[in-house]
Amino acid sequence: MVEKSVFEMILNKEIESEIIYEDEEIFAINDINPVAPVHILIIPKKKVATMNDLTEEDELLVGKMVIVAKNLAKSRNIDESGYRLLWNTNKDAMQTVFHIHLHLIGGTMLKGI
């Protein structure tokens, strides 16, 4: 059996974490270890391990994740001040959870990358 990701465990309520947004395909939580005042993870309910595993079938899903992110940015009043959307993939990007997720980071002046 394929091991469950921490995000699947959160979705299944096996791990405690407030779900701050949810629809049929996507949910969002606050990052447990925030790097900025706003640090939200937008996560597909469908487990896709890394960005490398996306297929054309996922086009709409990924697009919806971006729309959810920008709506959350507006709801947190950081749409005008600015924010960063980030996907980490594999070792060099320090991906730690192998279930894709979009980081929404903002609420402060971010360092350049």
Our CB check for ligand 5GP shows the closer of 12 and 56 to be 12
Residue 110 is a binding residue for ligand 5GP (CB under 6 A): no
22 lies in the binding site for ligand 5GP (CB under 6 A): no
Contact flag: residue 95 with ligand 5GP (CB under 6 A): yes
C-beta separation of 51 from 100 below 8 A: yes
50 binds ligand 5GP (CB under 6 A): no
* Cβ atoms within 10 Å, residue 65: 22
Our answer to whether residue 101 is catalytic in this structure is yes
Cβ atoms of 103 and 31 within 8 Å: the answer is: yes
Strand-pair partners of 44: 26
Q: Which is nearer to ligand 5GP, 80 or 111 (CB)?
A: 111
Residues designated catalytic: 101
Binding site for ligand 5GP (CB under 6 A): 6, 15, 17, 29-33, 41, 88, 94-97
